[in-house]
Structure 1
Amino acid sequence: MTVKAAGLGMHAGEQWLFRGLDLDVAAGECLVLVGDNGSGKSTVLHLLYGLRAPSEGTIEVAGEEPDERAVSFRRKVAVLLDDSELFVELSPRQHLELLLTSFDADGAVADWLAAAGLSERADVHAYYLSAGQRRRLLLLGAVARPHEVLLLDEPERALDGQGKEWLAELVEQERAAGRTVVLATHHPALLEVADHVVRLG
Structure 2
Amino acid sequence: MYVGEQWLFRDLELDVGAGECLVLAGHNGSGKSTLLHVLYGLRAPSAGTLEVAGQAPDERDGQFRRKVAVLLDDSELFVELTPRQHLELLLAGFDADLGDVDGWLQHAGLDERADVHAYYLSAGQRRRLLLLGAIARPHDVLLLDEPERALDRQGKEWLGEIVGNERELGRTVVIASHHPPLTDVADHALHLG
Match status 1:180 vs 2:146? no
In structure 2, how many angstroms separate the alpha carbons of the residues matched to 1:41 and 1:11?
A: 13
* Higher strand proportion (structure 1 or 2): 1
In structure 1, how many angstroms separate the alpha carbons of the residues matched to 2:159 and 2:93?
A: 25
One-letter code aligned to 1:76: K
- Match in the other structure for 2:26: 35
Please report how far the alpha carbon of residue 132 of structure 1 lies from its aligned counterpart in structure 2 after TM superposition. 0.2
* Counterpart among 146, 149, 156 of residue 157 in structure 1: 149
Tell me which stretches of 4 or more aligned residues in structure 1 moved more than 6 Å.
none
Query: Normalization by structure 2: what TM-score?
Result: 0.98
Matching of residues 81-92 of structure 1 within 5 Å = 81-92=72-83
Q: Give CA-to-partner distance per residue, 1:48-79, whole Å, 9 cap, x none.
A: 00000111111100000000000110010000
SS in 2 for 1:32: strand
Please report how far the alpha carbon of residue 15 of structure 1 lies from its aligned counterpart in structure 2 after TM superposition. 1.3
Unaligned runs of 5+ residues in structure 1 are: 1-9
Please report how far the alpha carbon of residue 12 of structure 1 lies from its aligned counterpart in structure 2 after TM superposition. 1.9
In structure 2, how many angstroms separate the alpha carbons of the residues matched to 1:22 and 1:187?
A: 24
Match status 1:21 vs 2:12? yes
Please report how far the alpha carbon of residue 166 of structure 1 lies from its aligned counterpart in structure 2 after TM superposition. 0.2
In structure 2, how many angstroms separate the alpha carbons of the residues matched to 1:84 and 1:13?
A: 24
Query: Normalization by structure 1: what TM-score?
Result: 0.94
Question: Percent identity over the alignment?
Answer: 78
One-letter code aligned to 2:127: R
One-letter code aligned to 1:46: H
In structure 1, how many angstroms separate the alpha carbons of the residues matched to 2:182 and 2:91?
A: 27
Unaligned runs of 5+ residues in structure 2 are: none
* Counterpart among 169, 182, 185 of residue 161 in structure 2: 169
In structure 2, how many angstroms separate the alpha carbons of the residues matched to 1:18 and 1:49?
A: 17
Please report how far the alpha carbon of residue 44 of structure 1 lies from its aligned counterpart in structure 2 after TM superposition. 0.4
Match status 1:44 vs 2:44? no
- Match in the other structure for 2:190: 198
- Match in the other structure for 1:133: 125
* Counterpart among 66, 69, 86 of residue 78 in structure 1: 69
In structure 1, how many angstroms separate the alpha carbons of the residues matched to 2:8 and 2:130?
A: 28
- Match in the other structure for 2:53: 62
Structure 1 vs Structure 2 CA RMSD? 0.6
SS in 2 for 1:57: coil
SS in 1 for 2:156: helix
SS in 1 for 2:50: strand
Aligned residues: 192
One-letter code aligned to 2:141: V
